[in-house]
Amino acid sequence: MNPITLNVLFLCTGNSARSILAETILNVLSDGRFHAYSAGSQPAGEINPFALEIIRRMGWSDHGLRSKSWDEFAQADAPQMDLIITVCDSAAGVTCPVWPGRPANAHWSLPDPAAVSGSAEDKRRAFLEALTVLRRRIEMLVTLPLEKLDAVSLGRELQAIPARADKAQATPGRLGDYR
């Protein structure tokens, strides 16, 4: 479990909002320790416009982001995943493909900001909340002492992150302000 860079796959149903945000945040925060990907069990085929808006407003690149099936990552020529993290309830209940290498996995349940109805401002608030929650969790992920954790311990740590992070305060200004 001690490669130089760990590959992380964030899974959701549509791969249009939460998993895309998680992929982006981890790639921004990883400092080269992680390479994040995202996919969905039933990909929407496009990224939610509010997800793209928040990514761009944060000053992050959206280059290479796309809604895609998790089947791409079960192929023989796909990058081998070290960690698999589901970020929505419906993806957690679906039978996943068999991942080569038996990656550690965790479920980080998070309400779907794309399911929020109402005004554009209501939707933006929902996406900002999802970004904030994911950021706290990912900040804890990137500080794990990976070199000291075996696969079982890593799995336990990953699974414990949501409860710990959801109690913690977000680090103000760490990723910039979204306005």
In the chain, the domains with their CATH numbers are: 6-167 (3.40.50.2300)
Rg (CA), the chain: 15
Q: In this structure, what token pair is assigned to residue 158?
A: 């990953």
Reported as half-sphere exposure (CB side, CA atoms, 13 A), residue 81 has a value of 25
CB-based contacts of 159: which residues, under 8 Å, 6+ apart?
A: 106, 107
Name the residue with higher pLDDT: 101 or 170.
101
Of 34, 38, 36, 37, residue with least CA distance to 12: 38
For position 3, what pLDDT does the model report?
A: 47
Mean pLDDT, the chain, as a whole number?
Answer: 87
pTM (2 decimals)?
A: 0.88
Where residue 90 falls among pLDDT bands split at 50, 70, 90?
low
* Whether residue 136 has pLDDT greater than 80: yes
Per-residue pLDDT tens for 36-77?
999 998 999 999 999 999 999 999 999 999 999 999 998 888
Please name the helix (run of DSSP H) or strand (run of DSSP E) that holds residue 121, with its range, or none. helix 120-142
* Whether residue 137 has pLDDT greater than 50: yes
Q: What mean pLDDT comes out for the span 133-144?
A: 95
First to last CA, the chain: 39
